[in-house]
Amino acid sequence: MKFYQRLSYYLLGFLFGCVFLFFFLNKKQTRCSYFPNDRVLNNIISKPFHYSPEASKVLAEDWIDTLDIKNTLTYGDVDFDRSNVKKENGKLYVIEGKTEKNQFIELSVINYEDKAILKEIKKISTK
């Protein structure tokens, strides 16, 4: 067998393998997150998410929306100095982010084994 035939078989197999991995890994929605901030946020958003009565009252106001909550839980910053505190059989995390109107907010989320509850939403005047 000549070199160009071996090369063509190799490239054909490599192409089939790449296509297989693309479809296989795309269905699993794998994410590589090794930083502590990303790991905490991925853990919180991967669970069923509930709102406390206090958070529901704040969400009824016009200055914040559930899209702002989702964006903060996806792209926000976890304040580890005030987080990772055991509370009510879970851990309390304080997450800072911004609304679409560039208003700084602070979310207090209790992360349980099977769910996450948004406990409190605060508006921060300056950062």
Question: Domain locations in the chain?
Answer: 1-30, 33-123
Average pLDDT over residues 107-126: 92
pLDDT at 126 over 90: no
Considering only CA atoms, which of 112, 109, 107 is closest in space to residue 123?
107
Both tokens of 3, joined, read: 């070199």
Tally the residues of the chain: 127
Average pLDDT over residues 25-36: 69
> pLDDT over 90 for what percent of the chain?
60
Backbone angles phi, psi at 15, to 5 degrees: -65, -45
Cβ-contact 106, 93 below 8 angstroms? no
C-alpha to C-alpha distance for 64 and 123, rounded to whole angstroms: 9
